[in-house]
Amino acid sequence: MRYFTTKLSLLLSFALLPSLFADDFWDIQSDTWVATDGLGRTLPTAKETGLPKQDKTIGIFYFLWNGFQGDGGPFDVTKILHVDPSAMEDADHPLWGPMRSFHHWGEPIFDYYVATDDSVLRKHAQMLSDAGVDVVIFDVTNQRTFPEAYRALCRVFTEERKKGNKTPQIAFLTPFGRPVRAVLPLWNDFYSNGDYSDLWFRWEGKPLILADPNMIMPENQDFVFPERLLVPQEVKTGLSAGQSFTVDRPLKKVAIRTPTWFTNDASATLILHKEQPVGKKLLSKDFINVADNSWLTLEPVSPLPAGKYYLELEHKSGRIGWWSIEESNRIPGGEAFLNGKPCSGTRIVRVTRIPEDPTFDKIHDFFTFRNPQSSYTRGPTGPNHWSWLQAYPQFGFYSAEHAPVTPGGEPKKIEQMSVSVAQNIVDGRMGVISSPRAYGRSFHDGKQPPTEECDYTGKNFAEQWERVFELDPEFVFITSWNEWIMMRFPKDAPFHGASESEVNFVDQFNQEFSRDIEPMRGWHSDAFYYQMIANNRKFKGTRSVEPIRPKPIRINGTFNDWKDVQPEFRDTIGDQVQRNHRGWTKGSTYSNETGRNDLIAAKVSYDTDTLFFYVRTQDPIVGRGQPNWMLFYMDVDTNHETGWLGYDFMLDGSKLRKNIGKEYHWEDVATINGIVRRNEYEIAIPLKLLGLETLPESIYFKWADNIQQTGDWSDFTLNGDAAPNDRYNYHAVFSTPE
C-alpha cells in the first residue's frame, strides 16, 4: 500500500528499479509461492500444472462504482438476513435501506471502501498480479464511465510500475445496447489523449474494447424507437419484406435486426436497391443459420452517395422476421413493403453514414473490437464475439480468423470463454439473483442445493473451470472482482422472478448468491481468491522452484557471503500498509499506519547442521526492540495440519518460539541473535532447535514486520508488511549436499 520515503531515497530506489516502460518488472515469481487456504486446499505447483504455457491470458471483471451511489448505510444483506431472515418477506423492514438504494452483499476485507481509496487500489494491483491476472476489465455497461475511479486506479497502477512492480493492464466492457454512450466519452476523455497508454491492454496489436463495432456511430445514425413499440414481424416462406429510407450523407453500411424465435436454422438474403423495389440492385448477401436477434449487415466497398434506398429481406428457409413498429411512415422519406408492394407499419433499419465529425472513423481504426454477448445461455452469433457470464456448459467464442469453415461447424480455435462464481439465471433466463432458484456459489450438476447444503467450496466456479480446461481457449474472462453493491428493487420490478418476493436484487444478493472473488470479512473469507489462483495456474502453467545449494554463512554483518546465494525470494516493493481515506459513510475515515519496514527480498542457505536466513528491506531497518519487529515464521514439516496456519516455529525479536496446538500460542525455545546492518538482516538457526535431526527436503517460510499478531490470516493482508503477501509462503527446496 502507500509507500513513504524521503525524496532522495525515492529517487535512488527508482534509479535501481526497472523502467516504467520496460518489460523486466521486479519479478517476484508469485507463481512459485505456496499457500493453503482456510478449507485446507493447497495451491498447485509446476508438478501439477506443467510449466508456463504460451498465449494464455486472464482478464477479470472490475467495478468502478463503489462510493458513487450515495453514502447511505452501508446496508449489508448478508448481515441483515443473519439478524432476521424474515426480512425478505417485509419490504418495509427497518433493516433495509430505502427502495432503489444500494446495498452491499457482504463486507469486504478492506472495509466498506470506495473506489478511489489508494491503499485498496494498491492491494488490488498486488493481489491480482500475484494471482496471474493480466487485465482488469472495467464495467461501464450502465453507460456511466466513472472517470474519477478509473483514473485513480490508473494513477496508482502507474505508481506501482514506477517502483518496478507488475500490475494488470486495463480495458472496458461497454453497454450491450448503446455502447457509443460509453465509448465516445472514453475516447474523448481518455484514449484520444494517450492517457496511461502503457496500461492499455492490447489484443491483435490494438487496445481492446468490448463493444459492438456496428453500434459505434452518432446517435442519430439509425432510426430509434422505444423498445415497447417494437414488434417482430415474421417474413413467411417465399415472401420478402422491405423498407425504403433516405440518407442525407454518403452511406457506409446498413443493417436490420432479425428475430428467429429462438431458432438458429433460418436463412435469408438481404438486398440493397437504389430507390424502390424495382430500382438497381446495389448489394446482396446471403445469411445462413441466423441466430435470434442477429444484426444482418450490408457494407459496400466504398460509401454510397446520399439519397433514397430500398432494403429487402428475402426469406429462404426456417423462421425469420424483421423488428418493426405498427405505425406507418415513421422513417423519414421511407415506407414499408411486403413482397414489393407498400404495406402498413415501419421496419427498423440501422444506417451508418459518413459523419461530419471524423471521430467515429478514428475510433473504429484505433481499437480491436470484441462484441460482448449479453445472453447467459446463447453462444456466439458470429465471429469476434466474447462472453462475460454464461451458464455451464459455457460456449467457446472465436475470432474471424478462426471462424468455422462451414455453417454450424466447429471453429478452428477457441479465442475466449467466461467463468463466473455465480449467475443471476432463473429458469434458464436472466433474472433476480435473490431468487432461491438462481445459480449461487454452490450451484452444480444442474441444481441449486438447499440452504443447509450450501458451502464455500465453490462448486459452481469449479464446474465452470472444468469447461474451460475442456475447450482450452486463449483468453478467460472471470466474473468478478470487487462487485460489492447492487440496487434494491420492489416486487413489481421488470425482472424475471421479481414478482415472487417483496425484496429483490439483480446481480448480487448475499454471501451465497453473489459472484465476487475479492476476500470478504468472515464467512467464506478468501476461499474464492485462492480457488481462482489454483485454476489460473492450471490454465497458464507455473514455474519450477530453483533448489538451494549448500553454503555456510558467517553471521558477522558483512553480508558478502550472501551475494551468490540463489534463489532470491522477492516481495512487492513499497507495499507496507499506510492508509488514510474516506470510508463509505459520510464523515468516516479508514486509517492504518502499521506499515514500517518494506520487505523486498529474502534468501536461505544451509550446511550440515544449520539453516541460515537473510532478509532485505527497501530502506534501513527500523523499530528493533519494538513490538512485532521483523517476525519470521517457519513451516519446517510443510504440513498445514501442524502449527498455526502450518507454522511450527517463529522468531519474535531474539526469541525462537514453538507453536503449541494450532492456535496462535507459542512457547520459547531458544535465543537467536541475528545481525542487522542498514537494510539487511541475517540469522542462523541450528536444525536441532527446530526438532530436526537432518535437513528436510524443503521448508516453507515467511517474513512479516509489524503485523499485529491477531492470530488470524488476514493480519498478513491488513497490517504491516508480509513477504510473501497474504497467505502465501516461500518454498525453500534443498539440493542434496555434495
pLDDT at position 261 is 86
Q: Do 80 and 146 fall into the same domain? A: yes
- When pLDDT is cut at 50, 70 and 90, the band that residue 404 belongs to is confident
**Does any domain span residue 310?**
yes
Q: Which of these three, 539, 573, 602, is where a domain ends?
A: 539
Q: Are 454 and 550 in contact (CB under 8 A)?
A: no
What is the amino acid identity at position 324?
Answer: S
pLDDT at position 237 is 86
Which residues, at least 6 apart from 346, have a Cβ–Cβ distance to it below 8 Å?
223, 243, 324, 325, 327, 328, 329, 330, 331, 334, 335, 336
pLDDT at position 223 is 65
Measured distance CA(607)–CA(550) in Å, rounded? 6
Please state which of the ranges 2-6, 503-507, 639-643, 687-691 shows the lowest mean pLDDT: 2-6
pLDDT at position 407 is 63
**Does any domain span residue 28?**
no
Q: How many domains does the chain have?
A: 3
| For residue 74, cis peptide bond before it (omega within 30 degrees of 0) | yes
**Does any domain span residue 244?**
yes
Using the predicted structure, report yes or no on whether residue 5 has a pLDDT greater than 50. no
Domain of 441, CATH number, reads: 3.20.20
Q: Do 450 and 582 fall into the same domain? A: no
**Does any domain span residue 16?**
no
Residues 68-97, mean pLDDT to the nearest whole number = 95
Residues 663-687, mean pLDDT to the nearest whole number = 97
Please state which of the ranges 5-14, 252-261, 705-714 shows the lowest mean pLDDT: 5-14
Q: Do 283 and 314 fall into the same domain? A: yes
Q: Which of these three, 298, 333, 353, is where a domain ends?
A: 353
Q: Do 567 and 712 fall into the same domain? A: yes
Measured distance CA(390)–CA(152) in Å, rounded? 30
Q: Are 130 and 27 in contact (CB under 8 A)?
A: no
User: CB-based burial of residue 73 (10 Å sphere; 0-12 exposed, 13-18 middle, 19+ buried)?
Assistant: middle
Using the predicted structure, report yes or no on whether residue 382 has a pLDDT greater than 90. no
pLDDT at position 736 is 58
Q: What is the mean pLDDT of the chain?
A: 92
What is the amino acid identity at position 215?
Answer: M
- When pLDDT is cut at 50, 70 and 90, the band that residue 146 belongs to is very high
- 586: its cell numbers: 459520510
What is the amino acid identity at position 179?
Answer: P
Highest mean pLDDT pick, 7-21, 57-71, 319-333? 57-71
**Does any domain span residue 171?**
yes
pLDDT at position 702 is 98
N-terminal to C-terminal alpha carbon distance within the chain:
43
- When pLDDT is cut at 50, 70 and 90, the band that residue 7 belongs to is very low
Residues 721-726, mean pLDDT to the nearest whole number = 98
Residues 684-707, mean pLDDT to the nearest whole number = 97
- When pLDDT is cut at 50, 70 and 90, the band that residue 227 belongs to is low
Residues 52-81, mean pLDDT to the nearest whole number = 95
- 724: its cell numbers: 510473501
Residue 540, helix vs strand vs coil = helix
Using the predicted structure, report yes or no on whether residue 630 has a pLDDT greater than 60. yes
Q: Do 169 and 313 fall into the same domain? A: no
Q: Do 527 and 584 fall into the same domain? A: no
CA angle 447, 453, 454 (to 5 degrees): 75
Q: Do 316 and 260 fall into the same domain? A: yes
- 620: its cell numbers: 534501513
pLDDT at position 178 is 85
% of the chain with per-residue pLDDT over 90: 83
Q: Do 627 and 679 fall into the same domain? A: yes
- 682: its cell numbers: 541475517
Q: Which one has a higher pLDDT value, 6 or 41?
A: 41
266 φ, ψ (degrees, to nearest 5): -75, 150
Q: Do 304 and 388 fall into the same domain? A: no
pLDDT at position 292 is 80
**Does any domain span residue 306?**
yes
pLDDT at position 712 is 97
Q: In what order do the strands lie in the sheet with 231-235?
A: 231-235, 320-325, 346-347
Using the predicted structure, report yes or no on whether residue 6 has a pLDDT greater than 60. no
Using the predicted structure, report yes or no on whether residue 21 has a pLDDT greater than 70. no
pLDDT at position 219 is 66
**Does any domain span residue 232?**
yes
Q: Are 246 and 332 in contact (CB under 8 A)?
A: yes
Domain of 317, CATH number, reads: 2.60.120.380
Measured distance CA(436)–CA(513) in Å, rounded? 9
- When pLDDT is cut at 50, 70 and 90, the band that residue 23 belongs to is low
pLDDT at position 345 is 93
Q: Do 648 and 725 fall into the same domain? A: yes
Q: Do 407 and 347 fall into the same domain? A: no
- When pLDDT is cut at 50, 70 and 90, the band that residue 22 belongs to is very low
Residues 208-219, mean pLDDT to the nearest whole number = 86
If one counts every other C-beta atom within 10 angstroms of the C-beta of residue 349, the result is: 20
Q: Classify strands 281-290 and 266-274 as parallel, antiparallel or unpaired.
A: antiparallel
Using the predicted structure, report yes or no on whether residue 201 has a pLDDT greater than 90. yes
**Selection from 687, 645, 644 nearest residue 669 by Cα:** 687
- When pLDDT is cut at 50, 70 and 90, the band that residue 392 belongs to is very high
- 72: its cell numbers: 447511505
Q: Which domain holds residue 608?
A: 560-733
Q: Do 387 and 345 fall into the same domain? A: no
**Does any domain span residue 18?**
no
642-681 burial by CB neighbour count: b if 16+ within 10 A, else e?
ebbbbbbbbbbbeebbbbeeeebebeebeebebebeebbb
Measured distance CA(288)–CA(292) in Å, rounded? 12
Q: Which of these three, 326, 353, 380, is where a domain ends?
A: 353
| For residue 724, cis peptide bond before it (omega within 30 degrees of 0) | yes
Measured distance CA(633)–CA(703) in Å, rounded? 6
Distances (CA, A) of 738 to 340, 394, 551, 608, 693: 91, 53, 11, 10, 18
pLDDT tens by residue, 428-446:
999 999 999 999 999 999 9
Using the predicted structure, report yes or no on whether residue 520 has a pLDDT greater than 80. yes
Using the predicted structure, report yes or no on whether residue 68 has a pLDDT greater than 70. yes
Measured distance CA(434)–CA(78) in Å, rounded? 12
- When pLDDT is cut at 50, 70 and 90, the band that residue 539 belongs to is very high
